[in-house]
Structure 1
Amino acid sequence: MINIGRSPLSVSQLARIVFENEEIVIDEDVLNEVDVNHQFLQKFSQNKLIYGINTGFGPMAQYKVSQDSLMQLQYNLIRSHSSGSGKLIEPALCRALMVARLGSLIQARSGVHPEIIELIALLINKNILPCIFEHGGVGASGDLVQLAHLGLMLIGEGEVHYQNAIRPAAEVFAENNIKPLSIHVREGLAILNGTSAMTGIGCLNIAKSQTLISWGIMLSALTNEVVEAYNDHFSTELNVVKHHTGQLKVAALMQHALEGSQMIRDRSEHLYNPDNIGHDVFEDKVQEYYSLRCVTQILGPVYDTIAHAEKILTEELNSVNDNPVVDHVNHNVFHGGNFHGDYVSLEMDKLKIAITRVSMLAERQLNYLLNNKLNQKFPPFVNMGVLGLNFGMQGIQFTAVSTVAENQTLSFPMYVHSIPNNNDNQDIVSMGTNGALLTKKVIDNSFEVLAIQLMTIVQAVDYLECQTSLSPLSAKVYHEVRAIFPAFKEDQPRYKEQRLVREYMEAHAPLKAFEA
């Protein structure tokens, strides 16, 4: 169980709630503080004009709403903004969104009744998730449209994902004896005003990116290993003189991955040995291609980008991203823009650019293994069948290249796509949810590319018959992959095996790149 409120939520905790179905428990002190905040707002709002409590919303805020319509105002907001379109967001992302909204509401600065906290936690634990669409949020006055669909479920309307089916929320609530949310003061606005869609999706993106870069480092190590590269380019001595945390971390992880390898060569034994340099022309390259030699310099910035994104998203996950902020400690209500998604939007753009770079590196390493004119070690396309009759990994290379090309196009930033809307009330917006969803696509694409690279590497290992010369960690990866992707010479469709390898990679990180 994960106790919400006792300490700040982490990205890894959110991922465990989403992917491992860890149960949420709400700290009793949190509920008490939320209730104090709610009671304060009820008293403070008497005989005052406060946005979203007795006014319209957005550019309609100059219109006062009559006292007898205040509750209806909140329902109207939820229903009117439940206007998403396009594809439904995957249920896992909806679950992450709910955890993120809970992370904001438990800060006790939104004026909500504790009932909403308990209801969201109950629905997460029962895996009853709102149907939310990809299109709708501009990420400025919060993820209004996506979060409206969360609100629609909370009041017992709309549709939900439940037990692998899409069903009416009212029906599922009745089946589980769940009472829909009652509006007390401003629960409608408190649900909608916030960055929880982009934040929840963004946190999952970070968790998956941490697994992906673990594989990027592992496959870079394996590629160096099967081509018998030299060891100095990932040595501590070379990398420590360039003062970047990520570069040093990637070098250390490569050293760990290759510890015990009998294939990686020591430059001092070969090119620094006078007995081995009595030639004018050397068959072996004195230095490897950049995709092999510059791994620490290429994946180091990616590592640092993921680490910084985790820091920012963790801060957002545990922040009050609502408006106005109900401050019972200072006895006031403050109007502003904490719902604005620029922090998350910018991090998602940086993250997807970095992850695209991972896929680009993997594609270049893949090309090196497949092109016999470059590696001078393997047959074309690591073809272990009859050259000309069989094709080896030729067909699947096209998939890797086209997927990387899509990543490159998707990597144009959403952060600079601000389009004024809402009668120009929202005159500069973040587009953060769009950015988070595109980043997810780039990450998913990259797993596909790296899966193809891994399939090629194990074929190369079998061609060389070097299984016993691999490092222990490389050998472990080799045997686990071969359990789902047997060696082949004859041509067969590979798409099902590619999916199995990708799913294996998504579920396992070969290197512990980040602390949980």
Structure 2
Amino acid sequence: MVTLTGEHLTIHKIKQICYDNQPVEISDYVRERIQNSRQAVESIVRNGRTIYGINTGFGKFGDVKIAEEDVNTLQLHLIRSHACGVGDAFDPVVVKAMMVLRLNALIKGYSGIRVNIAEQLVTLINRNIIPIIPQQGSLGASGDLAPLSHLALVLIGEGNVYYHNKPHPTEEIFHLEKIKPVQLQAKEGLALINGTQAMTAQGIINYIEAEQLSYQAEWMAALSIEGLQGIIDAFHPAIHEVRGYVQQCNVAARVKHLLQDSQLTTHQGEKRVQDAYSIRCIPQVHGATWQTLDYVKEKLEIEANAATDNPLIFDEGKTIISGGNFHGQPIALAMDFMKIAVAELANISERRIERLVNPQLNDLPPFLSAKPGLQSGAMIMQYTAASLVSENKSLAHPASIDSIPSSANQEDHVSMGTIGARVAYTIIQNVRRVLAIELICAMQATEYRGTNKMSTKTKKLYEQGRAIVPSIMEDRIFSNDIEKLTDWLEGGNFNWDSCS
């Protein structure tokens, strides 16, 4: 059980909820905080104070006063009109993270919702009733309005959900599970959709996958070093300590540890004086990616515990302030940074693949072919890696440098953070396939060198990899091999982060 308080929510806890299906709960003191905030909203409605989003229209309609008898209808219209997302649906695990994040933001007590709104979210999370939310349609400011409106639709019994991994109308599943739709009251619709939870949820799933990918890249690199009889001296701790980057030192230490008893590595001067950068600079390049991921993690965890509604209610309703915490710029920049950093893992991996297959750069069989000339071997696998790397270069173009005005120029600067987060996920998938290709080539090269000379740790990776993809004895449809290994890497069925 994970207890949500509006504070101290971590990526690790989100992983427990979204991947391990840990249930969530909210504590009694959180309920009291929510109730105090709600009383302030109800007082505003009774007293006729004009407060944005409670008894006014939205966006450019913020100057339109809404009659007391219409404030509840206003919220329903808001959700229905803003639920205009399009395109493919977010992955259910992303939406579940979105629900957890939205719940955590609402229970901070600055949004003015009733307790039953929070309880409805708890019920849906714990029963794995996941809203179907289109990916496209958010500008990443004024909140992730379109995606979160599709989430809010489900709370009121509308829209569609995944139930046991299959799509169903929400009404059908609510009837089956005996769940009553909530009836939105003043401010609650706005509270549900003003926030950055779509981009942050996608960003957190990105981080979880990118972290695993970064460990995997170190294992692939270690295997390639053995296939190329690389120089281990470049991983000596003294080199990295004098530069001072902790992440660089850690990568060097982990790779060195993976290769500690290998008989396939060499020392400077034995076969060559220096290796190419794609081997020699693994700690520097991979380490810089880890630096970026540390930055991204920090921003995501701050945002996971942030109040991103507008307006926000302070001092039990004495102070109500309209601001812009829904603007996604911090996450937009983090996602763009992540795109570049993760893409670099594929960039350097593809260069190692080239060194493994190019007969002008090694003493291995040309293109790792069993019968060079008659059989092409890994020749076109390198093409595929190069294509994916080139595609990533286009995808890594920052989304955050774009902005376009909306709501009749009232909302005249937006973050495009949700686009950045979605594209970052695509880059991660491409990088995983490049690493799968490197693994195929590195296994073939180490096999040629002699698997009995591999390190204890890389031998384990080789054996598991070979259980999925056999040795290249003859040309075959290598697309199948790449996809099988890609699925295996994504599944996380290997202790990639362990050097024990």
TM-score calculated relative to the size of structure 1: 0.93
- Separation in structure 2 between the aligned mates of residue 39 and residue 335 of structure 1, nearest angstrom: 18
Q: For 1:263-278, what aligned pairs fall within 5 Å after superposition? A: 263-267=264-268, 271=269
Matched, 1:371 2:358: yes
> For the Cα contact (< 8 Å) 1:84–1:135, is it kept in 2?
yes
Q: Note closer, same or farther for the CA distance 1:286–1:360 as it changes in structure 2 (3 Å cut).
A: same
Q: Which segment is superposed worse, 173-182 or 386-395?
A: 386-395
For residues 392-437 of structure 1, the C-alpha deviation after alignment (integer angstroms, 9 at most, x for no partner) is: 2223222211111111100000010101111001100000101100
Of 273, 281, 294 in structure 2, the residue corresponding to residue 286 of structure 1 is 273
**Cα deviation, residue 134, structure 1:** 1.6
1:24 and 2:20 matched: no
Say whether the 8 Å CA contact 2:40–2:316 is kept in structure 1.
Answer: no
| Superposition deviation, residue 7 in structure 1 | 5.5
Instruction: Point out the more displaced range, 1-10 or 392-401.
Output: 1-10
Residue matched to 1:114: 115
Q: Specify the alignment match of 1:91 in structure 2.
A: 92
CA deviations over 1:307-339 (Å, ceiling 9, x no partner): 110001000001101111112457311110000
Residue 220 of structure 1: how far off its partner (Å): 1.4
Aligned to 1:388, the other structure's residue is in SS state: coil
- 1:310 matched residue in structure 2: 297
Separation in structure 2 between the aligned mates of residue 287 and residue 69 of structure 1, nearest angstrom: 75
Corresponding residue for residue 319 of structure 2: 332
Q: Give the match for residue 450 of structure 1.
A: 435
How far, CA to CA, are the matches of 2:156 and 2:23 in structure 1? 23
| Cα distance in 1, alignment partners of residues 15 and 441 from structure 2 | 30
Alpha-carbon displacement from aligned partner over 1:54-74 (angstroms, at most 9, x marks no partner): 000011010100111000000
Q: How far apart in 1 are the matches of 2:321 and 2:168?
A: 39
1:391-410 equivalence runs, <5 A: 391-410=376-395
Map of 2:399 onto structure 1 = 414
Q: C-alpha displacement at 1:260, in angstroms?
A: 2.0
Distance in 2 (alpha carbons) for counterparts of 1:472 and 1:126 = 44
Counterpart CA distance in 2 for 1:328 and 1:35 is 13
Q: Map Cα deviations across residues 42-92 of structure 1 (whole Å, 9 max, x no partner).
A: 224533111100000011010100111000000000000111112222222
User: What amino acid sits opposite 1:394 in the alignment?
Assistant: M
Cα shift at 1:263:
2.0
Q: Within the alignment, does 1:39 sit opposite 2:39 as a pair?
A: yes
Q: Give the equivalent residue in structure 1 for 2:236.
A: 235
- Structure 2 residue aligned with 1:353: 340
Q: Quick one: distance in 1 between partners of 2:350 and 2:496?
A: 21
Establish whether residue 493 from structure 1 lines up as the match of residue 477 from structure 2.
Answer: yes
- Cα deviation for residue 304 of structure 1 reads 0.4
Aligned-residue identity in percent: 35
Q: Distance in 1 between matches of 2:456 and 2:275?
A: 24
Q: Could you tell me how far apart the structure 2 residues matched to 1:401 and 1:91 are?
A: 31
2:452 counterpart of 1:468: yes
* Post-superposition offset of 1:374: 0.4
User: Separation in 2 of the partners of 1:478 and 1:3?
Assistant: 41
Q: Indicate conservation of the 8 Å contact 1:390/1:489, yes or no.
A: no
Give the residue type in structure 1 aligned to 2:24. Answer: I
Residue 266 of structure 1, CA deviation: 3.4
CA shift digits 1:231-259 (9 cap, x unpaired): 22111111111011221121122122222
Deviation at 1:187, TM superposition (A): 1.2
Alignment counterpart, residue 461 of structure 2, candidates 474, 477, 485: 477
SS of aligned partner of 1:406:
helix
Matched residue type, 2:389: V
Using the alignment, how far apart are the partners of 2:196 and 2:260 within structure 1? 44
**TM-score (ref. length: structure 2):** 0.96
**Which residue of 2 is the match for residue 10 of structure 1?**
10
**Mapping 1:46-125, distance limit 5 Å:** 46-125=47-126
Distance 2:413 2:108 in 1: 27
Find the aligned partners of 2:220 and 2:86 in 1 and give their Cα distance.
Answer: 39
Distance in 2, Cα, partners of 1:487 & 1:29: 60
Q: How far apart in 1 are the matches of 2:267 and 2:346?
A: 28
Structure 1 counterpart SS, 2:294: helix
Aligned partners of 1:330, 1:39: CA distance in 2, in Å?
Answer: 8
**Secondary structure of the corresponding residue to residue 112 of structure 1:** coil
Counterpart AA for 2:292:
T
Q: Is structure 2 residue 219 aligned with structure 1 residue 211?
A: no
Aligned partners of 2:308 and 2:6: how far apart in 1? 19
The residue identity in structure 2 corresponding to 1:28 is D
- Which amino acid letter does the alignment assign opposite residue 363 of structure 1? E
Q: Is the contact between residue 6 and residue 27 of structure 1 (CA under 8 Å) also seen in structure 2?
A: no
Give the match for residue 432 of structure 1. Answer: 417
Counterpart AA for 1:484: I
Native 8 Å contact 2:6 2:106 kept in 1? no
Q: Cα distance 1:348–1:237, how it changes in 2: closer, same or farther (>3 A)? A: same
Partner Cα distance (1:87, 1:412) in 2:
22
Indicate which of 368, 376, 391 corresponds to 1:382.
Answer: 368
Q: Which amino acid aligns with 1:436?
A: A
Equivalent residue letter for 1:382: L
Match of 2:48, SS state, is coil
Tell me if structure 1 keeps the 8 A contact 2:342–2:431.
Answer: yes
Deviations 1:128-159 (A, max 9, x none): 11111121100110000011110111111111
Any stretches of 5+ residues in structure 1 without a counterpart? 277-283
Amino acid at match of 1:364: R
Deviation at 1:216, TM superposition (A): 1.3
Please report how far the alpha carbon of residue 183 of structure 1 lies from its aligned counterpart in structure 2 after TM superposition. 1.3
Give distance in 1, aligned partners of 2:333 and 2:495.
29
Question: How far apart are 1:6 and its partner, in Å?
Answer: 8.2
Q: Decide whether the 8 Å contact of 2:41 with 2:187 is kept in 1.
A: no
Q: Does 1:323 align with 2:310?
A: yes
Deviation at 1:185, TM superposition (A): 2.3
Contact 2:71–2:185 (CA<8 Å) still a contact in 1? no
The one-letter code of the counterpart of 1:151 is A
Amino acid corresponding to residue 303 of structure 1 in structure 2: W
AA aligned opposite 2:102: R
Relative to structure 1, is the Cα distance of residues 91 and 446 closer, same or farther in structure 2, using a 3 angstrom cutoff?
A: same
SS at 1:333 equivalent: strand
| 1:301 equivalenced with 2:288 (yes/no) | yes
2-structure distance, mates of 1:200, 1:149: 15
